[in-house]
Structure 1
Amino acid sequence: MTLGPPPDEERLARAALTRVLEPGDAVGGRWLREVGAVEVLRRLRAAEERLPGATARRWEGLRARAAGVRPERDLEGVRDAGGRFVCPGEPEWPSPLDDLGDARPVGLWVRGRPSLRIWALRSVAVVGARACTEYGAQMAAGLAAGLAERGWVVVSGGAYGVDGAAHRGALGAGGATVAVLACGVDRAYPRGHAELIGRIAEQGLVVGELPPGDHPTPSRFILRNRVIAALTRGTVVVEAAYRSGALATARSAQELGRFTMGVPGPATSGLSAGVHELLRGDGVLVTDAAEVVELVGDMGEVAPERRGPVVPRDLLAPGSARVLAALPARGRATARGIARDAGTSEDDAVGRLYELQSLGFVERHGDGWQLTRQTILSVFAEGGES
């Protein structure tokens, strides 16, 4: 009985194929599923009939790439950078990535000490515009800090703007954060975030599909977003224009059955237009970490009830509140008239009026009753009269 190639051989082949196949290559993913990484690499290196689904031109291009790969050197390079290579099926592999089907990563290059699989179990993506506003940066940092304080891992893309603010917010709260890069994990991109990415590698995790030293391209940024969406329980978009890559992350999350959330902004802001379009669809409006956790968390993790301050009138019994509401805003009324408007008997109305008098809501003048000045002012202050 054939047991298949040893794990080291499979690992070596997958590491090599991260230099051959582009991220998200579903045709290549089908080859891996049907014949395995070792056989795919062998056929690419040998002068044999090409695998199904590839044109002659593409096959030759893949063969040219495969001829120059040195996976042993890449594995050594990532070890020197304090990292490792994680393959599907290994204990550290996050199973949610398997939801990507044939488009799942060939493997992941990882820097950092924690287990990626464990961290992914309780993680949320916070993404948004690179050229974000001060409001967007503040909201991203606050959301990330709140999530971190509640024991959630904040995942983002390491970019300028919302991504960077989310990473810093989580780190500032002493929490966990993961940066998913569109280049080799030994590279700092953008360069201005070299210190931030280094700090994430020390305190959290830096993850990528591309081997050490590889560079980002526009298409790789978009394809990277599917990993952010699949890795997490839900995606929060803080600020995004109509053509923002953050919306691509949200769309991937929706396709994968993950939660998608958006933070509203000014209706006049182009950087919030994409978020508002998301909220007009299946996105859920959130304003803080508690509301995010209520959606993606376990049963019982609910956000506090949102309501205005309790005022003295809120504490009245229903019958007394009806009698109070029956008094005119100006002038006086008789007990009989108040009873009629409150839908009760005159005796009941009189009893409740004396109760309201003792509480300072009304005052009696002969046969008439009227609201006290303090009650009238409080009604106006609460917007009860227009």
Structure 2
Amino acid sequence: MTGRHTPDRLARAALTRIADPGDEHVGRWLRRHGSVATLAMITGDDALPGISDRRTAGYRVRRERADPENDLRAAAALGCRFVCPGDEEWPAQLDDLGDRRPIGLWVRGRPGLRMWSLRSVAVVGARACDSYGTHVAATLAGDLAEAGWTVVSGAAYGIDAAAHRGALAAGGPTSAVVASGTDVPYPPGHAELIGRIAEQGLVVGELPPGAHPTRGRFVLRNRVIAALTRGTVVVEAQLRSGSLVTARWARELGRVTMGVPGPVTSGLSCGVHELLRGEAQLVTDAADVIELVGSVGEDLAPARHGPVLPRDLLAPPAAAVLEALPGRGSRSARRIAEEAGRGLDETLSRLHELRALGFVQRDGPDWRLTPGPPTPPG
């Protein structure tokens, strides 16, 4: 052990400098040989099994920059920690990624990553979203957070930002999985937002301090978002949206894949609608999401129905008599009885009942509907 860091922790920290996130070759070596032996293989001079000379050269160039002691010190100074497989804080669901499991995660924020990930939902979508998507994402995330679910997203422009802001506004938990070092705000315009997430929640990344994102790293971090959560909700997405990559990862990992439908005339919802034509579940609010990702039989969404009208509460015989009255004008009790298929005595009894409830009124010897909503007399 060097200082307070185990050889495994130091080796894994070094490997986050050398290997790209999701590198299956490194993941396979880690599984077979462990982190210390894997680092020795990569930093040595011998040929590496199963990979090209070009990839080997890439590892060997990057090994010159690997200084795990310095990275761990820098992380600690930033209030960041390095969480490894086997740590108490490590979320076991990440192991579902197999050889593409993160080497380790750099975590910024006070809450425990494992506990916050136990009840978590990813809310992702288009960067170039419209007001509909922003409203839906913020409302959905806020309601999920109020219900005690951690909202996970990628801190990007558009739907990601709306989801994080919705959870923050509700005073609830949210985690941002970034494609850079947790101390490098990206996009730069979200420096304040990412800072707020770090103060109130968690900022999580696979890259060490100071590392900058690349196009490929944005795609690769989506697998972590999918694996970390119980399900992924796509709010708005075009047909080539990166958020669909997250949804595909969620499906492959056996997580719940969900989509919020949008206008059929909007190109921003085309990707979501394609998901919904496949195996994705249609959701419209937090209750729908929680029913799908929550405990079976316990987190059920409320039954959906239209507004209850006063006439809906009438007993069937009274309702039949009420239906027999004309929309305009009046009708005799005998004619009403014929229309309702009831006896005259029963019809008269029901008419007086309906009068007491404010549905009908006398019109000389006949009966007519009361104008406007029913208002009981007296």
**Separation in structure 1 between the aligned mates of residue 212 and residue 320 of structure 2, nearest angstrom:** 71
Q: Structure 1 residue 189 and structure 2 residue 223: aligned? A: no
Q: How does 1:229-308 map to 2 (within 5 A)?
A: 229-298=226-295, 299-308=297-306
Q: Please, which of 68, 83, 86 is the counterpart of residue 86 of structure 1?
A: 83
1-structure distance, mates of 2:110, 2:351:
70
Equivalent positions of 1:48-87 (< 5 A) are 48-51=46-49, 53-87=50-84
The count of corresponding residues between Structure 1 and Structure 2 is 370
SS in 1 for 2:272: helix
Q: How far apart are residue 120 of structure 1 and its match? A: 0.2
Look up the equivalent residue of 2:70 and give its one-letter code: R
Q: How does 1:1-386 map to 2 (within 5 A)?
A: 8-51=6-49, 53-298=50-295, 299-330=297-328, 338-339=336-337, 341-363=339-361, 369-374=367-372
Distance in 2 between the 1:219 and 1:47 partners?
A: 28
Q: TM-score, normalised by structure 2?
A: 0.90
Range that drifts further, 123-132 or 280-289? 280-289
Change (3 A) 1:318 1:27: farther
Deviates more, 1:343-352 or 1:332-341: 332-341
Q: Which amino acid aligns with 1:156?
A: S
Query: Which amino acid letter does the alignment assign opposite residue 322 of structure 1?
Result: A
Output the amino acid matched with 2:199. Answer: E
Q: Is the 8 A contact 2:17 2:65 kept in 1?
A: no
Corresponding letter in the other structure for 2:254? G
Indicate the larger mover: 333-342 or 210-219. 333-342
CA distance in 1, matches of 2:136, 2:14: 41
CA distance in 2, matches of 1:145, 1:85: 29
Q: Which moved more, 1:253-262 or 1:187-196?
A: 253-262
Greater CA deviation, 193-202 or 40-49? 40-49
Quick one: which amino acid aligns to residue 78 of structure 2?
A
Deviation at 1:234, TM superposition (A): 1.4
Post-superposition CA distance 1:119-143 (Å, at most 9, x none): 0011111111112112222222222
Deviation string, structure 1 residues 148-191 (Cα, Å, up to 9, x no partner): 22222111101111111211221122221111000111111111
How many angstroms apart in 2 are the aligned matches of 1:340 and 1:100? 72
Residues 184 and 211 in structure 1, CA contact (< 8 A), matched pair in contact too: yes
8 Å contact from structure 1 (residues 41, 66) kept in 2: no
Deviation (angstroms), 1:253: 1.2
Give the 3 Å change call, closer, same or farther, for CA 341–33 of structure 1 in structure 2: farther
Segments of structure 2 that go 5 or more residues without pairing to the other structure are none
Most deviating of 316-325 and 215-224: 316-325
The SS at the match of 1:181 is strand
Specify the code of the residue in structure 2 equivalent to 1:184: G
Per the TM alignment, residue 336 of structure 1 is displaced from its structure 2 partner at its CA by 5.8
Secondary structure of 2:122's match? Answer: strand
Distance across 1 between alignment mates of 2:372 and 2:65: 85
Letter in 1 for 2:352: Y
* Range with greater deviation from structure 2 (134-143 or 59-68): 59-68
* TM-score normalised by length of structure 1: 0.88
CA RMSD of aligned residues (A): 2.4
Question: 8 Å contact 1:94–1:120 — kept in the other structure?
Answer: yes
**How far apart in 2 are the matches of 1:149 and 1:61?**
46
* Shift, 1:146, TM fit: 1.5
- How far apart are 1:21 and its partner, in Å? 1.8
Counterparts of 2:363 and 2:160, CA distance in 1: 66
Q: Which runs of 5+ in 1 are unaligned?
A: 1-5, 377-386
- Structure 1 residues 220-275: Cα deviation after superposition (integer angstroms, max 9, x where no partner): 11111111111111112221111111111112112212122222222211112222
Identity over aligned pairs, percent: 64
**Displacement, 1:212?**
1.4
Q: 2:109–2:203: 8 Å Cα contact kept in structure 1? A: yes
Cα separation, partners in 2 of 1:340 and 1:223, compared to 1, 3 Å: farther
Contact 1:19 1:69 in 2 (8 A): yes
